[in-house]
Amino acid sequence: DDGPVEYPFDQPPTSLQDIANFIQSEKCKRILVLAGAGMSVASGIPDFRSSNGLYATLDATTLTGTEEQIEAILRDPSYSLDQHLFMENPLPCLEVNREFILGVRERRWKATLAHRFVELLQTKTNGGRGKLVRLYTQNIDGLEDQCEGIGHQRRIAVHGSMDEAECASCHATMDFDRFCELVARQIKDISGQDPSAPKESTPITCEACGQNTVKPSIVLFRSRLPEVFFQKVPGDIEDVDLLLILGTSLAVAPANSIVWRVPKSAMRVLINRESCGWHLGLDPHSNDRDYLARGNCEDVVLDLMEKLGWLDELKPLLDRHELPDSSAELLKERLLKLNQKQAPQKVVPANAEQG
DSSP codes joined into one string, 87-147:
HH--HHHHHHHHHHHHHHHTT-S---HHHHHHHHHHHSSGGGT--EEEEEE---S-GGGG-
Looking at residue 242, what is its pLDDT? Answer: 98
Type of residue numbered 30:
R
- Alpha carbons 293 and 242: distance in angstroms, whole number: 14
| Per-residue buried b or exposed e for 106-124, using 16+ beta carbons within 10 Å of the residue's own CB | eeebbbbbbbbbbbbbbbb
Q: Which uninterrupted H or E stretch holds 223?
A: none
Q: Which residues on adjacent β-strands are paired with residue 156?
A: 136
The pLDDT score that the predictor gives to residue 345 is 61
Rounded Cα gap, residues 168 and 182, in angstroms:
16
> Which stretches in the chain have pLDDT values below 70?
1-2, 49-51, 345-355
CB 305 within 8 A of CB 298: no
**Main-chain dihedrals φ then ψ at residue 104, nearest 5 degrees:** -65, -45
128, 129, 133, 137: CA torsion to nearest 10: 40
Task: Please answer whether residues 220 and 97 qualify as being in contact, where contact means their C-beta atoms are separated by less than 8 angstroms.
Answer: no
Instruction: Report pLDDT for 347.
Output: 57
Please name the amino acid found at residue 132. Answer: L
CA distances from residue 355 to 347, 352 in whole angstroms, order as listed: 16, 9
Question: Per residue in 303-336, is it b (16+ CB within 10 Å) or e — as a string?
Answer: bbbbbbebeeebeebeeeebbbebbbebbeebbe
In sequence order, which ranges of the chain are alpha helices (DSSP H)? 16-24, 54-57, 67-75, 83-88, 91-105, 113-123, 176-186, 227-237, 258-261, 297-308, 315-319, 325-342
Which residue out of 84, 152, 159, 279 is catalytically annotated? Answer: 159
| Paired residues of 34 in beta bridges | 136, 245
Q: Residue 355's pLDDT is what?
A: 41
For the whole model, what pTM was predicted? 0.92
Tell me what pLDDT residue 55 has. 79
Write down the pLDDT at residue 354. Answer: 47
* Distance between CA atoms of residues 335 and 275, nearest Å: 29
Whole-number pLDDT of residue 342: 81
User: CB atoms < 10 A from the CB of 290, how many?
Assistant: 23
Mutual angle of helices 297-308 and 113-123, in 10-degree steps = 30
**CB neighbour list of residue 78: distance below 8 Å, 6 or more residues apart:** 48, 55, 221
Query: What pLDDT was estimated at residue 47?
Result: 75
Q: What is the DSSP letter of 343?
A: S
pLDDT per residue as tens digits for the range 135-190: 999 999 999 999 988 978 899 999 999 999 999 999 999 999 999 999 999 999 99
Catalytic (active site) residue 171: no
